[in-house]
Structure 1
Amino acid sequence: MANQDKAEEWIDRTNEALGEIGNGYELTPTLQHLYLTNNRISKIEKLSPCLALRELVLRQNSIKVIEGIDALEELEELDLYMNQIDHIPSDGFKKNSELKRLDLSFNDIRELKGFPSNNLPNLEELYLIGNKIRIVSDLQSMPKLIMLELGDNRLRVIENLDRLPSLQGLWLGRNKITRIEGLQKLTKLRRLSIQSNRITCIEGLEHLEHLEELYLSHNGITSMQGIQSLKNIQVLDLGVNFIEHIECIENLSNLREFWINGNKLSSFDELNSLRSATRLETVYLEANPLAKDPQYQAKALEILPTSLEQLDALLVDDARKQIAAQSCREDQAAVADKPEHAAEETVIANAMGGNLTDGSRVIQIDGRLDRDSQNEVPGDEPSRDDTVETVPSRKVASEHTVTMAPDVKVSLSQSLEQGDATRETQSQSTTHEIG
């Protein structure tokens, strides 16, 4: 019985191309959620029995007119994303005062004149992405509206939003806006996106004391002047602009994410300004001139605050592993490229029974081995410490001749096959030849 009740409350016929509402299923008074995405529906109809319907999803259909919803007085969400609607009737939604979320994105709406704001007193989210709107108008009398999405339209000016005092999120990306303005009365705004527009300077944000996220990437901004008043900002995106200096962030103590990739930062000294951002967790610096430095990651992490968790697309721990691996490869390359005398010293050290640990060199002077190349050892005063007393028990290549220095040759003739050879035999098997 429980399953039957659930079936009556939920109907999902997504991607079934049924052609019309109610085709192949029953529309009942207890139905609350109806999902008909991509059904080739051209008209909203047959919904009068659905008195309890709260959510109606008609995405990706061929609907041209907003109609047939007067009986849906309990409706809270209406999704008409990607249809063929070209206008919003001024008398629309008269019986839908409970509507909280309305999505009219990706239609053919050209203007908002006559928008039925008065009929939507409880609307909280309005999505108008991807239409052809040129002017924002008649968006008033919606005291509960907290989210407005107008991205990817044809707006040139931010205007007529001052009667939306509860607005917390405003999205205006991919328009033709040239100035940040008209936001003075939106004092509750927390998220503002004006990405991919034509803005050249940061301004008009002085009254947005509660702003937490600001997205201004892909514009023509040349300076960070104008953000200094945003004391509560947590996410700041200035990627892909023309900024040369990091500045005006001394008061941004709550900054957690900072995107300034794709700008013109050329010196690592610019990163010193971020030391005061002690809560910083993510920084994007890639595609700046300084990121071309072979030691870019290491230099950046040395300067950035210890709170950092992510540099560009890499977690800091992974970045440090890459740095260590790179350092190891460089060390190996340096060893491979050592001068010839370094390899010679290694051979002599091995002949003495192991590698030297004190960093001193071993060379042959007057038939004896000396541990310090800077100490002159007279030929007639052999030093006890520098006399070779033992030869390693492991087998060493026979007749291995190495040039130690100009006019000095060392010939090691060692063919010790048995580990218990006598010291006298070992001594005789080692011949020093001075050329």
Structure 2
Amino acid sequence: MVRLTVHLISKSSNYSKACRSESLQQYLKKLTHLNFSNKSIEDIDDLSMCRNLTVLYLYDNQISQICNLGFASNLTHLYMQNNNISCIENLSSLHKLSKLFLGGNIITVVEGLDELKSLKELHVEGQKLPRGEKLIFDPRSISRLSELETVFSQWSQLRLLDLNNNPVCVKPKYRDRLITACKILEDLDGKQINELSRQFLINWKASKDAKKKLDDGKDIKEQISNPLTTDFHVGPQQPFAHDRSSSRTKPSEYGKPGVTFRTDQVQGDSRGRRSRGIYIPVRTGRL
């Protein structure tokens, strides 16, 4: 097994040129770029002495696990495409990481990116998956387009996104909706995003949302104005007690319940003033 170790780095040609003037420890401490692509590497050892590392090239190897990179808090570019990586993990401490290349691996779930607030480019194209397997996002199975919009909209620095050959690409309005969600995205699936087109899509979405809000408001108002009633039959009754001798009943027409009108006699109140009350109770009956 070939492991990327400090000892292996010491054998590199770059260190051979620098070893005359500085020790290995000094060299590793100053190291910012490390290129071990296409070296048949299968594992990453402890490289914590390289704490100023900003760019790491490990593509075209046989690495099966992302590990031992917790020290690299200054890392901005990580190239690990075309390996045997099946899980995106151990990246939470890479707060400055802006470009992550993981295409051509065997990843089935895009996860473990929650803490990468500086991420601008994510490459997960061309995963070597068994027939019938699909690439999904997040361990909670974020595979629907609406959920992808939510995830990507949280990456405020995302400028380049490549999802070519993934099932989500055939979803209705896939490109339009991601461009709207990712405010500063410049390139999607290898195609540049025109700013005029983006503004048109943003305006279209705002107009659509406003119309939906207006329609929802109308529905609520209609429900308040016309509350639902239960259709059941109630026998004739008088909702208000009164003297039937003083009532005048309007005959019902076509078999509909009649309406009873009552006018109370003129009465005096406690102060001797005269008042007249008018009540219009409705009598309901079976149609």
Structure 2 length as normaliser, TM-score?
A: 0.52
Q: Distance in 1 between matches of 2:116 and 2:63?
A: 21
Q: Which residue of 1 aligns with 2:123?
A: 237
- Which residue in 2 is equivalent to 1:283? 161
Q: Counterparts of 1:112 and 1:278 in 2: how far apart (Å)? A: 38
SS of alignment partner, residue 271 of structure 1: helix
1:120 aligns with 2:18: yes
Count residues with an aligned counterpart.
184
Q: Is the 8 A contact 1:118 1:141 kept in 2?
A: no
Residues 379-404 of structure 1: CA distance to partner in whole angstroms, max 9, x if unpaired?
Answer: xxxxxxxxxxxxxxxxxxxxxxxxxx
Q: In 2 relative to 1, CA 289–144 (structure 1 residues): closer, same or farther, beyond 3 Å?
A: same
Q: Are 2:149 and 1:272 aligned? A: yes
Give 1:305's aligned residue: 182
Does the C-alpha gap of structure 1 residues 122 and 284 become closer, same or farther in structure 2, counting only changes over 3 Å? farther
Equivalence for 1:65: none
Whichever residue aligns with residue 200 of structure 1, its letter is: S
Tell me how far apart the structure 1 counterparts of residues 135 and 184 of structure 2 sit (CA, whole Å).
24
Aligned-partner Cα distance in 2 for 1:194–1:172:
5
In the other structure, the counterpart of 1:144 is 30
Q: Which letter does structure 2 place at the counterpart of 1:244?
A: I
Separation in 1, partners of 2:17, 2:59: 27
Q: Residues of 1 paired with 2:155 and 2:46: CA distance?
A: 36
CA drift at 1:186: 2.6
Percent identical among aligned pairs is: 26
Q: Distance in 1 between matches of 2:67 and 2:20?
A: 27
User: Higher helix proportion, which one?
Assistant: 2
CA spacing shift, 1:119–1:234, aligned 2, 3 Å: same
Point out where structure 1 has 5 or more consecutive residues left out of the alignment: 1-110, 124-137, 249-263, 325-435
Contact 1:246–1:270 (CA under 8 A) maintained in structure 2: no
CA distance in 2 between counterparts of 1:167 and 1:206 reads 16
One-letter amino acid matched to 1:311: L
What residue in structure 2 maps to residue 315 of structure 1? 192
How far apart are 1:265 and its partner, in Å? 8.2
State how far apart, in whole Å, the 2-side matches of 1:285 and 1:160 are. 32
Asked whether the equivalents of residues 121 and 144 of structure 1 are also in contact (C-alpha less than 8 Å), the reply is no
After superposition, give the CA deviation of every residue in 1:115-171 in whole Å (9 maximum; x if it has no partner): 384872699xxxxxxxxxxxxxx9644132211100011111111422222221111
Distance 2:165 2:182 in 1: 21
Q: Which amino acid aligns with 1:226?
A: G
TM-score by length of 1: 0.36
SS at match of 1:272: helix
CA contact (8 A) 1:177 1:199 kept: yes
With over 3 angstroms needed to count, the CA separation of the structure-2 counterparts of 1:160 and 1:141, relative to structure 1, is farther
Contact kept, 8 Å, 2:149 with 2:177, in 1: the verdict is no
Q: Which amino acid aligns with 2:98?
A: E
CA contact (8 A) 2:119 2:158 kept: no
Q: CA RMSD in A?
A: 3.9
Kept in 1, the 8 Å contact 2:145–2:171? The answer is no
Counterpart residue number, 1:132? none
Match of 2:74 in 1: 188
Q: C-alpha offsets along residues 71-128 of structure 1, whole Å, 9 cap, x if unaligned? A: xxxxxxxxxxxxxxxxxxxxxxxxxxxxxxxxxxxxxxxx9486384872699xxxxx
Letter in 1 for 2:56: L
Structure 1 residues 122 and 247: alpha-carbon distance in aligned structure 2, compared to 1, 3 A threshold: farther
Q: 1:140 and 1:208 mapped to 2: Cα distance?
A: 23
> Aligned pair 1:161/2:43, yes or no?
no
SS state at 2:87 partner: coil
Alpha-carbon separation, structure 2, partners of 1:139 and 1:155: 21
4+ aligned runs moved over 6 Å, structure 1: none
In the alignment, is the contact (CA less than 8 A) between 1:156 and 1:175 conserved in 2? yes
Q: Give the aligned residue type for 1:275.
A: S
